[in-house]
């Protein structure tokens, strides 16, 4: 199994604008459940700390294998999400790691 974690800072000058960005991210990834083979346990979380250096939202996903993660990265449904969210985020961080 491989875990794929992505964190974003969202665009917005107010808490309401940032919340809308988080909602948009959540809705986009919720639509991938059951669509992309090998994608297991997707979870979206919004930051509640409001610390200035924290990211606003995190995507936690598990994949059956490295091959499944690679296929996800080029899957048309995922690419559509990436295009949709391009204007929502201002920063993105990612970690992928293998679980034995």
Per-residue pLDDT of the chain (100 residues; tens, 9 = 90+): 999 999 999 998 888 998 899 999 999 988 888 899 999 878 999 999 989 899 999 999 999 999 999 999 999 999 999 999 988 999 999 999 999 8
Q: What is the CA radius of gyration of the chain?
A: 14
Q: Are 9 and 90 in contact (CB under 8 A)?
A: yes
Number of compact structural domains in the chain:
1
Instruction: Tell me the pTM.
Output: 0.88
- Looking at residue 62, its pLDDT comes to 95
- What's the burial of 20, exposed, middle or buried (CB within 10 Å: 0-12/13-18/19+)? middle
Range of the domain at 31: 2-98
> Looking at residue 45, which CATH number applies to its domain?
3.30.70.100
């Amino acid at each position: 199994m491989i875990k794929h974690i992505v964190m974003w800072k969202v665009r917005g000058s107010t808490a309401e604008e940032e919340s809308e960005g988080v909602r948009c991210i959540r809705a986009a990834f919720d639509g991938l459940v059951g669509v992309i083979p090998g994608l297991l346990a997707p979870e979206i979380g919004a930051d509640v700390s409001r610390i200035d250096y924290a990211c606003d939202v995190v995507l936690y996903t598990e994949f059956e294998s490295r091959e499944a993660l690679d296929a996800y990265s080029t899957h048309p449904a995922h690419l559509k999400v990436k295009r949709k969210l391009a204007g929502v985020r201002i920063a993105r961080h990612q970690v992928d790691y293998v679980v034995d």
